[in-house]
Chain A
Amino acid sequence: MSQVFHDIEKKIIASLKENPTQTPETLGASTKLSADQIRRGIEWLKLKDLAIVNESKTSVFSLGKNGIESFKKGLPERRLLDSLKNGPRKMSDLQQELGPVFGPAIGLSRKNNWVEASSDEISLKNPILELPGEKTLKQIAIDNVSEKHIDKNDLSVLLKRPNFIVEDVIKSKEISLTDSARLITILESSGAIDVEAKVPEIFVARTHPLKDTIDEIREIFVTLGFSEIIGNMTQSSFWNFDALFTPQDHPARELQDTFYLDGILTKKTGTAEQIRNVSESHKKNWRYHWDINEARKMVLRTHTTCVTIKHLAENKPDESRVFSLGRVFRNEKVSYKHLVEFNQIEGIVVGKDATLRNLMGIQREFYKRIGITKIKFWPTFFPYTEPSLQTMVYNERLGKWVELFGMGIFRPEVTKPLGITKPVLAWGGGIERIAMLKYGLDDVREFYSNNLNWLRSVTKCQ
């Protein structure tokens, strides 16, 4: 088995092959790597299942205060036995001689039958060569000893006695190679690199996510047989409102909803005939004084319908499917729900198929193609269509129905003055709303904030 390793890994593996079980410290000494390099190298090898790391705890023993005294003078019982070597002694003399250790010494010696005591005299009974604990006491006194090298029984005698032994617990790591690692051959000269290592992130250049949605929608309508038309964002009030049967005193036309261009009027509105017919339709149906100067005011289009109605008025087709796609404007406070400028799609159908059920069918097909199948239609009101409907689609993430495209059939009050004789289906709506569903956004402003973090990371194909 041959594999590519980092230099650090190579050195650690080599050292462990020579010396199979090591600590980080011994590895450091043998490889000349820093503690941090060793730590990282061990971690990498462990992740690749090449190294085994045993973490263990060891006790190391040293002498306490009483232990040191006993090492110098002998254990209390040893001192007692020594003083009886030359024959029985008086209890009171011994007590004076040994001081505070006399009690424990006599207790232990009697219990073990080493001495015999009468009322006031003590004599040696069984002379003993090495007392329990003596061997270990010496061993620890020479060097601190770990538990591995110690007689546990002998130690336990000392551990029971106060301040004889101090125990330290030391954690340690032992590193060894796994079986498979031992078989690894390191090829020094292949020039191969670590193909499994992490690499830096780079960012794909891409179209804007909202543009992707716009392109997707454009493509759907083209494949449904619609042709794209384009028109200006700045429009006369005539085409934005008057031609669409919105009376000049209608609240929607006020400054607070519509952007009027400061001091800009146009001489070009409609043809003389269009102007005459439109103004008459307004006067007759809305009962007010229609003013051409109001129609000349330039606005930022509030919908793309002005583009489609102009197209119809200019071409008067018997059969047609066209759509228009682009920016529209509303004088609103910008919020997570509202932008002053957003994209709208608007489509129309003229011809034999112009029925309300077909209009609903086109909508259903469109939603199906963008992945929305749970839809329903509700009646609604628009000034320039009759009948009018809106699509409600179910937003799974929010768990509720949300309004998407509006639709209807252009009113005769709209089409007749412009010489359009056939019924015209029309629908339209905001694209950002669809894009929000697609990208799971709750704040529509995100589309225009050009936040690179988002643009670089959001999944393109959703």
Chain B
Amino acid sequence: MPVVELSYKRLQKLVGQVTKKQISNSLPFLGLDIESEDKDLVRIEYSPNRPDYSTDFGIALGLQGLLGIKTGTIKLNIKKSNKYEISVNPRVSKIRPFVTGIIAKNGKIDDITIKQLMAMQEDLHFGIGRKRKKSSIGIHDLDKISFPLVYTTTNQNHKFIPLNSEKELTISEILTNTDVGKDYGYVLGNSQQMPIILDTNQQTVSFPPIINAAVTTLTTETKNLFVEVTGINKDDAEDMLSVVATILQSAGFILESIQISGTKNFTPKLKSRKIPISPTLVNQILGLNLTNSKIISSLKKSRLDASSKNKNIICTIPAYRFDIFGSMDLVEEVALGYGIQNLEPTLTPSQTLGQMNHVSIKLKSLSQLMIGLGYLEALNSSLTSKRVLYDMTNRDSEKIISVLDSKSQEHTILRDSVLPGLLENLSRNIHESYPQKLFETGTVFTQTNPVSEKINLAGISAHQDANFTEIKSVLQSALKTGFNIKIETKTVLHPSFEEGHCASVVVNDNHIGVIGKINSKIVENYKIRVPAVGFEISLSESILKSI
């Protein structure tokens, strides 16, 4: 979840007539988690579906609504203008076909505002921009640019001074030598032609989606902004633009339109949508009995507009609220505006009868039996390591199931056996008193078509006098007493067990597992100073077979 750092004082100024306490009490009810607080500073975690909450301007709009200071939608006032034009060259259509943008004038930006705008940009890139692949954004100092602009392509030798650089770099240098180039160059694939925005003097404005030109960098002196969004989908690009436009207007800028033309590109409308919502659905889902006017006022507190039409309510959704897909999203907006804290939990007696799963019932009985036999239950990860599963226990497997790119070396492959984990447990407890007797029931995995999952039981006993007879008695008693299953043991060789002290466990002529004295080399590998005996059987092929 993305995090934004804000100042309470600044928020108070933006919201108006509100105490710090009111703000901190209200934030969670907007869906914003307070991660930490330090005097005036507060770090807030927000949901990736609400990029408008990436700045204090956006959060202030939400708070005004919730606290009833200002309700209803934020209307974008975009002054129509013919002064600003971008024409699109058809050559971009194969790489990054769409561009859109807006002009924002007469604003004041301080250091904090710049910081917040940059953070918003990054969050938009990561979230709805899908790491700049779907859409990306550039914010420029308007007064350093001469319109009209052209969105076109160039070759890898095109040179300009990019942001954060002192000297001119070629496109190919940017892609190979700079961090942003290395991180986001993948978006452009193998194309030789690179998207570029140039101004009327052939000066580079931006190399989307990688980097802006240094010349248009925002400073605290900047008053007028040019915002461009490029992308592979027109609607996504306009969604991104709508967030920025809303935030900039809230920050005090006056918006002006840009005329965009050429190959399926158009001037953005950033228009609101209308979605009907049935009061019956609202009340049914929330478990309330709200009047239409209460529903409408709740929607307005969520900074939407709504009005009654016949029995329905028609809701107006501003462009930047593209997280709203349909009526259920509006039910949530009603709930938020109504106040989650005002929803009293209710408990209706169940109409259905509860039941444990048969597998759980059998496993519970089995664990009671093992405990009765003096065995302590252990729990190990099913995602484990080659070291534990194979190297330490002499075992081998042709079909290891491994996971890609695990962040932990200890968790790279799925276990095909439970017993190795118990041996590992013994090795970590050599300083504890003996006898040590452990058991575990757990899922084991084998590569079939595609993966089969079975449940195994393993038990292990380690002490000075541990022997085959003891462990066979344990397994025999557990299965006989619990499930009236009789086991036989047939001599077999197994790399984890001592030759001559190892048997296959057979039930009704089916091999279901192995039992015996743990190979002394393994015991030695693990620095266990007493002998150990153990077994592992498939429960899926014994007690769970009929389920």
Q: Which residues of A contact B (CB under 8 A)?
A: 203, 205-208, 210-211, 215, 218, 221-230, 232-234, 249, 251, 255-256, 259-262, 264-266, 285, 287-288, 298, 300, 319-321, 327, 329, 331-334, 339-341, 351-358, 360-365, 376-381, 386-389, 392, 403, 409, 411-413, 423, 447-453, 455-456
Complex: A194 Cα to B4 Cα, angstroms: 69
B317-356 interface with A by 8 A CB criterion? 325-329, 331-332, 335-336, 340-341, 343-348, 350-356
Contact indicator A321/B352 (Cβ below 8 Å): yes
Contact indicator B410/A452 (Cβ below 8 Å): no
Contact indicator A452/B436 (Cβ below 8 Å): yes
For A264, the chain B residues whose CB sits under 8 A away are: 401, 447, 450-451
Which residue of B341, B355, B371, B373 is within 8 Å of A228 (Cβ)?
Answer: B355
A363's nearest neighbour on chain B, judged by CB, is B345
B101-143 interface with A by 8 A CB criterion? 126-127, 130-131, 133-134
Task: Encode B375-396 as 1/0 by CB contact (under 8 A) with A.
Answer: 1111111110000000000000
Complex: A225 Cα to B351 Cα, angstroms: 7
Which stretch in B79-87, B89-97, B437-445 binds the other chain? B437-445
Give min CB distance, B48 to chain A, whole Å: 8
Contact indicator A357/B408 (Cβ below 8 Å): no
Complex: A37 Cα to B404 Cα, angstroms: 67
Which residue of A234, A355, A451 is within 8 Å of B285 (Cβ)?
Answer: A355
Max chain B C-beta neighbours (<10 A), residue from A228, A354, A363, A453: A228
Contact indicator A287/B233 (Cβ below 8 Å): yes
Secondary structure dominating the interface of A: mixed
Contact indicator B346/A361 (Cβ below 8 Å): yes
Give min CB distance, A243 to chain B, whole Å: 16
Q: With contacts A288-B134, A298-B450, A340-B411 known, what are 12 further pairs, Cβ within 8 A?
A: A207-B367, A208-B379, A221-B354, A224-B354, A227-B353, A234-B453, A260-B403, A321-B350, A331-B405, A358-B345, A381-B48, A448-B381
Q: Is B374 an interface residue (CB 8 A)?
A: yes
Contact indicator B379/A386 (Cβ below 8 Å): no
Contact indicator B347/A261 (Cβ below 8 Å): no
Task: Encode B60-93 as 1/0 by CB contact (under 8 A) with A.
Answer: 0000000000000000000000000000000000
- Knowing A256-B405, A361-B346, A364-B347, the reply to whether A227 touches B355 (Cβ < 8 A) is yes
Give min CB distance, B23 to chain A, whole Å: 15
Complex: A456 Cα to B376 Cα, angstroms: 8
- Knowing A255-B404, A387-B332, the reply to whether A452 touches B429 (Cβ < 8 A) is yes
Which stretch in B29-37, B154-162, B307-315 binds the other chain? B29-37
For B436, the chain A residues whose CB sits under 8 A away are: 452
- Knowing A225-B350, A228-B357, A341-B411, the reply to whether A412 touches B286 (Cβ < 8 A) is no
Contact indicator A259/B340 (Cβ below 8 Å): no
Complex: A120 Cα to B232 Cα, angstroms: 138
Which residue of A341, A351, A378 is within 8 Å of B29 (Cβ)?
Answer: A378
- Knowing A221-B354, A320-B352, A413-B325, the reply to whether A357 touches B31 (Cβ < 8 A) is no
Which residue of B407, B429, B437 is within 8 Å of A332 (Cβ)?
Answer: B407
B424-467 interface with A by 8 A CB criterion? 425, 428-429, 432-433, 436-438, 443, 445, 447, 450-451, 453
Contact indicator B382/A358 (Cβ below 8 Å): no
Contact indicator A298/B451 (Cβ below 8 Å): yes
- The count of chain B contact residues (Cβ–Cβ below 8 Å) is 91
Contact indicator A450/B428 (Cβ below 8 Å): yes
- Knowing A329-B383, A377-B343, the reply to whether A225 touches B450 (Cβ < 8 A) is no
For B375, the chain A residues whose CB sits under 8 A away are: 205
- Knowing A233-B443, A334-B408, the reply to whether A207 touches B346 (Cβ < 8 A) is no
Complex: A452 Cα to B332 Cα, angstroms: 48
Complex: A458 Cα to B378 Cα, angstroms: 14
Complex: A409 Cα to B371 Cα, angstroms: 41
Contact indicator B286/A357 (Cβ below 8 Å): yes
For A300, the chain B residues whose CB sits under 8 A away are: 383, 403, 414
Contact indicator B235/A453 (Cβ below 8 Å): no
Contact indicator B287/A334 (Cβ below 8 Å): no
Task: Encode B20-50 as 1/0 by CB contact (under 8 A) with A.
Answer: 0000000011110100000000000001111
Task: Encode B354-368 as 1/0 by CB contact (under 8 A) with A.
Answer: 111101100010010
Q: Is B236 an interface residue (CB 8 A)?
A: yes
Contact indicator B410/A334 (Cβ below 8 Å): yes
For B236, the chain A residues whose CB sits under 8 A away are: 287
Contact indicator A211/B367 (Cβ below 8 Å): yes
Q: Is B293 an interface residue (CB 8 A)?
A: no
For A451, the chain B residues whose CB sits under 8 A away are: 428-429
Q: Provide a sorted-by-A list of 13 A–B residue pairs whose CB atoms are within 8 angstroms.
A: A206-B377, A222-B356, A228-B357, A230-B359, A249-B130, A256-B407, A261-B450, A298-B450, A352-B351, A358-B345, A363-B345, A379-B29, A388-B332
For A333, the chain B residues whose CB sits under 8 A away are: 407-408
Contact indicator A208/B378 (Cβ below 8 Å): yes
For A262, the chain B residues whose CB sits under 8 A away are: 401-404
Contact indicator B31/A224 (Cβ below 8 Å): no
For A453, the chain B residues whose CB sits under 8 A away are: 429, 432
For B377, the chain A residues whose CB sits under 8 A away are: 206-208, 211
Complex: A452 Cα to B336 Cα, angstroms: 49
Contact indicator B287/A357 (Cβ below 8 Å): yes
For A411, the chain B residues whose CB sits under 8 A away are: 325, 328
Contact indicator A340/B383 (Cβ below 8 Å): yes
For A352, the chain B residues whose CB sits under 8 A away are: 351
Query: Top 5 A-B pairs ranked by shortest CB distance?
Result: A225-B350, A355-B287, A381-B47, A357-B287, A387-B332
Give min CB distance, A398 to chain B, whole Å: 14
Q: Is B284 an interface residue (CB 8 A)?
A: yes
Contact indicator B376/A380 (Cβ below 8 Å): no
For A224, the chain B residues whose CB sits under 8 A away are: 350, 354
Give min CB distance, A111 to chain B, whole Å: 79
Complex: A339 Cα to B130 Cα, angstroms: 27
For B453, the chain A residues whose CB sits under 8 A away are: 232-234
Complex: A339 Cα to B383 Cα, angstroms: 11
Which residue of A228, A364, A365 is within 8 Å of B356 (Cβ)?
Answer: A228
Complex: A386 Cα to B327 Cα, angstroms: 10
Give min CB distance, A171 to chain B, whole Å: 41
Which residue of A340, A379, A389 is within 8 Å of B406 (Cβ)?
Answer: A340
B355's nearest neighbour on chain A, judged by CB, is A227
- Knowing A255-B404, A355-B287, A387-B335, the reply to whether A341 touches B346 (Cβ < 8 A) is no
- Knowing A222-B356, A333-B408, the reply to whether A364 touches B376 (Cβ < 8 A) is no
